[in-house]
Amino acid sequence: MDTLKWRENALFLIDQTLLPRQKVIIECKTYKDVAKAIKEMNVRGAPAIGVTAAYGMVLGAFEYDGDDKEAFFDYLNDVGDVIKGTRPTAVNLFWAVDRILNRADEVRDKDITSIKIVLEEEANRMAREDIDTNRCMGHYGAQLLKDGDTVLTHCNAGALATVDYGTALGVIRAAVEEGKNISVFADETRPYLQGARLTAWELMEDNIPVTLITDNMAGYVMKKGLINAVIVGADRIAANGDVANKIGTYSVAVLAKENNIPFYVAAPISTLDLDIKAGDDIPIEERSSMEVTHICGVPIAPEGVKVMNPAFDVTPNKYITGIITEEGVIYPPYNKNLQKVGKK
């Protein structure tokens, strides 16, 4: 599934705001097009945002038509600031922009045209790495699932949230590819309905059995004994193992703990932010009230009602059984074991 595709100096994205009703491809020709696509959630999911941001930096570099190298580097930093300003929570966004800037600095002695080529190559490398990383995570995570297991997931951490394959759904895909009979319960994930619109669609496309439930049904299906494991993605992981993910993840984790169900987070090492000691320090994005008061443009709440709409919440590490990465599954104590993989 080509969540994003780089072709002929343009970035093509599946508009995820329209799925599953329509599959529309957005063409981004400038870095501002990319920034807009990230901000408006045409592309979403931490790994996909990261690689998209990298290509946004490349587009920004291509847009510079001067021959002053110092001005070029100042311009690149300005482009990076614009892209970083789109969404505050997913650390992959900042990681990707900084990786492109650092790569540019490494080849500062080259001419501007050559630097642009190097940056394009770096973004392409990041896209390939994302797919390889997801498949590695899938392999390690699949070992945690048994034949016949049913997994609950929240939001969308599938191919649409990455360049391809997925993080949490990548684990499920890998288990199925190993011949295990795995089924899924997908929370709808209010208010943006990524579980209903995206996760359910992806799994049905892959012929993996999926049952859609509303968010407030998660506790019911757990208590009924219908869930063997919970696997979610992540947008940022603090040094102590606290995890920021789509709003509602914390509630699911608490319910899993109450019902003695393992709760796993699947995320690449690029999602680690070892500079943040604990989840309370992770910035949480507040989004438009329209996402809560309207569904597909149709109002469902009284006009003028006060709305709170945090896009993410933080799950404390005590609720997390393990963190699945491309280096393997990391277990507590997280403040010690995350440091080991984060420094590689």
Structure tokens at 146: 């048994």
Contact 233, 172 (CB under 8 A): no
Q: How far is CA 314 from CA 41, 181, 240, in A?
A: 20, 31, 12
Element (H, E) at 316: none
Beta carbons of 187 and 153 less than 8 angstroms apart: yes
CB 100 within 8 A of CB 54: yes
Residue 267's alpha-carbon distances to 45, 233, 279, 287, 289, in angstroms, are 11, 6, 16, 23, 29
∠ CA 190-196-249 to the nearest 5 degrees? 45
Phi, psi of 13 (to 5 degrees): -125, 140
**Cβ contact 172:137 at 8 Å:** no
For the annotated catalytic residues, the residue numbers are 235
Question: Token digits for 300?
Answer: 């469902």
Question: 98 with 122: CB under 8 angstroms?
Answer: no
User: Where would I find the H helices in the chain?
Assistant: 31-39, 46-63, 69-84, 91-106, 112-142, 168-177, 194, 200-205, 218-223, 249-258, 290-293, 334-342
